[in-house]
Structure 1
Amino acid sequence: MSVEHASTRTIEAYARGATGLPDDEVWAVEAHLEVCPVCRDRLTAAVGAGVPAVASLVDAVWSGLEPQVAAAPAPPSRRRRPAWLSRWATPAMVPWLAMAAAVTLAALLLDLLGGSPGPGSAGISPVLLLAPVLPVLGVAASWARGLDPAYELTASVPRAGLQLVLRRTVAVLAVVLPALLVGGWATGVMVAQWLLPCLAFTTATLALGGVVGVTRAAVSLVAVWAAVIVAPTLADGRTAAALRTDGLPVWGLILALGLGVVIARRGAYSVLGAHR
């Protein structure tokens, strides 16, 4: 494909049923056709000239459907979601994002009712305990097979790669981070104490998701967090060292490593296994 449009050879091969085209080139052509009316017109002309049987079949089907479409009553007007919102989130994410915000509010209330421990205290802060896993759970829900009715369709489109993964992750963070910011401000917890673990866990989920699938990676990391950090913290009655200021350099390192792995393995997210 050229910089602006698909080549004539590619368009003609795609019109014949993608004969001889590699899979990645087919996906690139389909992604380009979504946004390029010029190449769609060229594809229509190529089908009519190179594959007349297909053109005849389309014309025959349309000739039978056109009277029915013309006679059908107009559908009731519906309020459509903005196009940009559809590119960043799916309706299946809405209840899970609302749940993440509600859990953050509950953690804030528990923190305030129990007495805010402050940034250097040994008390337990529910905001700190939940901050790393809240976005991870939202990302897992946005990719869960059983929660998204359009899962198979989404996982098979040409744009179902790292770009779509990052968009849904940003949509989750856009809801969770402001809620955590308010919670941290109200309880006196330093921003870095919850922000670095939150981002580090999210990038670690995406990095591991390129190997075992985003949902499986999220569930595994949440289980590890509950066993290694949450359970000992609740048992001892003291905030774990990983959540105090001493552990911030480690979280920064995990964040940098996670970003490096995601960038290095960005092609892995185009494989259907990444959507498990």
Structure 2
Amino acid sequence: MSTHVPAAALAAYAAGDPALDDVAAWGVEAHLDTCAPCRARLADRAAPPVRDLLAATRTALLHEARTGPQPAPGRSRWRRWTGWSPLGWAVTAVTAVLAAFLLDRAYPQFPSAVLLVAPLAPMSGLAVAWSRRTDPAWETLAGMPRAGLELVLRRALLVLSATLPTLTAAGLLLGESPALWLLPAITGTSATLWLGGRIGVTRAAGVLAAAWTATVIVPAVLTADVPPVIRAEGVPGWAAAAVICTVLALVRADGFLRLRSWR
């Protein structure tokens, strides 16, 4: 916030009004950290015993800040908004693409494994892009004012930046059209983000990965034939699906404003 906290927002924050969503509350807290006048306004709204407690706490904290140990050096910019958990899964996804490429080279008579795993590669990284169960720093990151869809999108970009170049190289070496693997991968990523605003990113990735496996990978393995969905005639449908899922993900951006949606 570049100006002071509005009176209505400060009153809602002081009263614990549930109508004030998590992101707005974090914005107020971030402003209070650097604005003494707004902290004084907030203290004036508290009962006298609470004001006394706040004053004593402030004095103790200032004393500790002056005499306590110095903070550790800050992390690099990219480290602050990514974390290591999605990076490890991105490496796993790249490894899966490389394994699929080797399978294609060893068994060219079977359906392309690269095409079959292309949508699953980014999903595996997105599954842990925003999850309290896989990120050891989840509580800290969840308390950031810029947490939510923006952080999820940044971590999705990290996953895509690792998997898409690998898929591109594998597709070019195999002579496959980029549209055959790129559009399903983008659609799967957008669909995961859209559904993730409703049931959580990890669950969304699991549901979509299971659906892709059951409807595409299993039939391809059983019939040893390329499913129509990943043939050239399916490209227009994938293009439309990618646009629709991207729009839906943006429409559902508010689904990431509440902690209960981040599982």
Instruction: Work out which of the residue numbers 21, 30, 33 in structure 1 matches 2:26.
Output: 30
The 3-state SS of whatever aligns with 2:127 is helix
Instruction: Work out which of the residue numbers 112, 128, 135 in structure 2 matches 1:125.
Output: 112
Percent of residue pairs identical: 32
Instruction: Work out which of the residue numbers 169, 181, 185 in structure 2 matches 1:194.
Output: 181
Instruction: Work out which of the residue numbers 56, 63, 67 in structure 2 matches 1:60.
Output: 56
Structure 1 pair 65–167 and aligned structure 2 pair: CA distance change class (3 A):
closer
Displacement of 1:184: 1.2
Instruction: Work out which of the residue numbers 211, 214, 234 in structure 1 matches 2:201.
Output: 214
Contact 1:137-1:218 within 8 A present in 2 as well: yes
- Hey, what's the Cα distance between the residues in 2 that align with 1:21 and 1:216? 26
Contact 1:47-1:55 within 8 A present in 2 as well: no
- Hey, what's the Cα distance between the residues in 1 that align with 2:4 and 2:102? 56
What stretches of structure 1 of length at least 5 have no aligned partner? Answer: 116-121
Farther off after superposition, 90-99 or 238-247? 90-99
Q: State whether structure 2 residue 49 is matched by structure 1 residue 42.
A: no
The 3-state SS of whatever aligns with 1:141 is coil
| 2:7 corresponding residue in structure 1 | 9
Report how many residues are paired: 262
Structure 1 pair 35–192 and aligned structure 2 pair: CA distance change class (3 A):
farther
| TM-score, structure 2 as length reference | 0.83
- Hey, what's the Cα distance between the residues in 2 that align with 1:8 and 1:208? 34
Instruction: Work out which of the residue numbers 130, 136, 143 in structure 2 matches 1:143.
Output: 130
Structure 1 pair 219–21 and aligned structure 2 pair: CA distance change class (3 A):
closer
Instruction: Work out which of the residue numbers 83, 92, 95 in structure 2 matches 1:99.
Output: 92
What stretches of structure 2 of length at least 5 have no aligned partner? Answer: none
- Hey, what's the Cα distance between the residues in 2 that align with 1:82 and 1:156? 19
- Hey, what's the Cα distance between the residues in 2 that align with 1:42 and 1:98? 48
The alignment's C-alpha RMSD in Å is 3.0
Displacement of 1:193: 0.9
- Hey, what's the Cα distance between the residues in 2 that align with 1:188 and 1:35? 54
| TM-score, structure 1 as length reference | 0.80
Structure 1 pair 155–7 and aligned structure 2 pair: CA distance change class (3 A):
closer
